[in-house]
């Protein structure tokens, strides 16, 4: 009996830790930015190292922008497609702002798009690219080229993707006195969060041109997600090591330096991400930098490219800036769908999401899809649950005899345990029969927890009546209260612990879980409520029908 209780409490402790972690991330103290540090001055770069031009903060200032303040810039170029409202800056040709038109900031603000990237205020997040030149020029090679600090010219300040058009090209141009011209072409396509980027280098000088293209994401450490905790930070992918997180602490501790072919680098957050996607067949050197004042960079640069006099060369890249839609990400780049981060339980969670998505394709409502998926999972584990509930029913039946043994032997636990084991043997009861089936199911339930937490499709998804957004808490706390009631009902069906301390803890659990779940997304609470209700029905059926028929 004690071993059974220990295992059950271990399972509950794991669930409570998961809840506490989410609670702390959402309602705990806000993360503090590191103390201000001095950014080192640019130095000459040895061959193969990242040139200093790609590692320094934005021009004119090393300080983090304060609320309402923007980075230094030139002219702003607005680009509007059917899914993006994007701002470029002629200083560096950077992507300074990305608003997602199909993803409002809140369900009650349908005309206010969610801003994924921005250069204003403390939540800095921008995409930069440019050429990292050698520090010292040689007499027989031209190395002049634009970095993210160089000024480009542009033909107009607003571009729109017209209905029916298959693409929109936004060119920015830079020219040097030596006869080198670089045209930075952003290419947008309808319905796509992928932005194609081409750097056309034309060498009209009398000498060969040599340069290295870099692209990087720069963002602050400030948390942008105000929902439950999920990872926010850097990520890289390589065919060899697959998906790897590079947290802000990792960047602060050491600089990443690694050569990868066929990979990508990203900054991710809850529901959304931005990623640089270089050509898969070309090697790139990946790097990270901590710039100070809570700003970090993750990026990559290409190999040196030589362009003969009178010739031209085009460097190609892509940027993904949008939601974590798994079916979309799978088609964009290998492994990009892993940014929908299910952690160690990915092997279980991905099939669960696939099934949930299939159900939704028929039902058309994510709330009912969650309910149907929960029912299917419950049916899959019916026999395991039946074994568990039979054991619990048997334990409840002999509860008075167990209490009598406790009163007879008092504090002599050794003799009481011996008497209990003899009773179990005589009644043919497995003391572990009630908890082991539950323990086996826990990884599946936690995997579903992460599926519901990470699924951007649930963001602002309606269910019924007052539940207009399954990704935020129930505004009237109806679902959490009902969930707490089902927990109380489950306890009434289970045998009471012999230990009075354990009994008090078990009585308090429904209240504790109700308080936690009151602030959890409605989709998660709905899953837990339905699972509890099905467990009660199954336990009642087994106790009143199955066992009475044996």
pLDDT per residue as tens digits for the range 274-286? 999 999 999 999 9
Q: What pLDDT shows up at residue 62?
A: 34
Q: SS3 for 413?
A: helix
Strand, helix or coil at 162? coil
Say if CB 340 and CB 497 are below 8 A apart: no
In CATH, the number for domain 131-156+164-340 is 2.70.98.90
Supply the pLDDT for residue 150.
92
List the beta strands (DSSP E) in 278-344.
283-292, 295-301, 305-307, 312-323
Contact 462, 472 (CB under 8 A): no
Token pair of 141 as six digits: 């090679």
Tokens (6 digits) for 320: 């993904």
Strand pairing report for 158-160 and 76-80: parallel
| Rounded Cα–Cα distance for residues 233 and 76 (Å) | 27
Domain boundaries, the chain: 2-20+349-546, 131-156+164-340
Q: Is the pLDDT of residue 54 over 60?
A: no
pLDDT digits (tens, 9 = 90+) for 363-372: 989 999 999 9
| Residue pair 234/298 in contact by the 8 Å Cβ criterion | yes
Most confident of 21-25, 120-124, 387-391, 505-509: 120-124
- Check whether 340 has a pLDDT greater than 60: yes
Mean pLDDT for the stretch of residues 111-125: 89
- pLDDT number for residue 22: 42
Residue 14: is its pLDDT beyond 60?
A: no
pLDDT of 240 strictly over 50: yes
3-state secondary structure of 5: helix
Could you give the C-alpha distances from 418 to 279, 380, 405, in angstroms and in order? 69, 37, 10
Average pLDDT over every residue of 306-315: 93
Q: Determine which of 75-84, 250-259, 441-450 has the lowest per-residue pLDDT on average.
A: 441-450
Query: Where does the pLDDT of residue 502 fall: very low under 50, low under 70, confident under 90, or very high at 90 and above?
Result: low
Is the confidence at residue 25, as pLDDT, over 80? no
Query: How would residue 505 be classed by pLDDT, with cut points 50, 70 and 90?
Result: low
Average pLDDT, the chain: 79
Q: What pTM was estimated for this model as a whole?
A: 0.78
């Amino acid at each position: 009996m004690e071993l059974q209780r220990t295992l059950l409490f271990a399972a509950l402790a794991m669930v409570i830790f998961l809840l506490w972690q989410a609670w702390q991330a959402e309602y705990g103290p806000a993360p503090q930015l590191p103390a201000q540090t001095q950014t080192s001055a640019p130095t000459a770069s040895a061959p193969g190292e990242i040139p200093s031009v790609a590692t320094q903060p934005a021009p004119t200032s090393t300080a983090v922008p304060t609320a309402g303040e923007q980075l230094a810039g030139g002219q702003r170029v607005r680009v509007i497609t059917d899914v993006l409202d994007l701002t470029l800056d002629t200083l560096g040709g950077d992507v300074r702002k990305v608003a997602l038109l199909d993803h409002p900031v809140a369900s009650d603000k349908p005309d206010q798009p969610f801003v994924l990237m921005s250069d204003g205020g403390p939540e800095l997040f921008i995409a930069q690219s440019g050429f990292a030149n050698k520090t010292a020029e040689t007499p027989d090679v031209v190395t002049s080229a634009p970095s993210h600090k160089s000024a480009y010219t542009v033909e107009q300040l607003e571009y729109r993707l017209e209905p029916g058009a298959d693409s929109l090209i936004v060119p920015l141009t830079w020219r040097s006195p030596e006869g080198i011209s670089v045209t930075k072409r952003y290419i947008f396509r309808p319905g796509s969060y992928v932005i194609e980027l081409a750097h056309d280098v034309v060498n009209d000088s009398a000498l060969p041109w040599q340069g290295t293209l870099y692209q990087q994401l720069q963002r602050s450490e400030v948390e942008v997600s105000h929902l439950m905790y999920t990872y926010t930070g850097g990520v890289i992918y390589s065919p060899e090591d697959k998906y790897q997180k590079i947290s802000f602490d990792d960047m602060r501790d050491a600089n990443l330096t690694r050569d990868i072919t066929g990979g990508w680098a990203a900054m991710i957050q809850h529901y959304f991400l931005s990623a640089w996607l270089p050509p898969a067949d070309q090697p790139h050197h990946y790097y990270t930098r901590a710039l100070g004042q809570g700003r970090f960079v993750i990026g990559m640069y290409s190999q040196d490219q030589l362009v003969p006099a009178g010739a031209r060369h085009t460097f190609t890249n892509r940027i993904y800036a949008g939601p974590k839609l798994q079916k979309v990400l799978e088609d964009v780049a290998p492994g990009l769908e892993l940014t929908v981060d299910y952690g160690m339980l990915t092997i279980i969670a991905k099939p669960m999401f696939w099934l949930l998505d299939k159900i939704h394709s028929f039902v058309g409502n994510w709330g009912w899809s969650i309910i149907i998926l929960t029912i299917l999972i419950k049916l899959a584990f019916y026999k395991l649950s039946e074994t568990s509930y039979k054991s619990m029913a048997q334990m409840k039946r002999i509860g008075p005899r167990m209490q009598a043994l406790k009163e007879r032997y008092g504090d002599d636990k050794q003799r009481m345990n011996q008497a209990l084991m003899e009773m179990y043997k005589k009644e043919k009861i497995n003391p572990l029969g009630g908890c082991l089936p539950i323990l086996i199911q826990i990884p599946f339930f936690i995997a579903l927890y992460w599926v519901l937490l990470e699924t951007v499709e649930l963001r602002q998804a309606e269910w019924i009546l007052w539940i207009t957004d399954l990704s935020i808490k129930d505004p009237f706390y109806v679902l959490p209260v009902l969930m707490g009631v089902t927990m109380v009902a489950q306890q009434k069906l289970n045998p009471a612990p012999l230990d009075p301390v354990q009994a008090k803890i078990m009585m308090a659990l429904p209240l504790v879980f109700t308080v936690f779940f009151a602030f959890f997304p409605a989709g998660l609470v709905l899953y837990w409520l339905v699972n509890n209700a099905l467990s009660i029905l199954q336990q009642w059926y087994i106790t009143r029908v199955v066992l009475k028929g044996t």
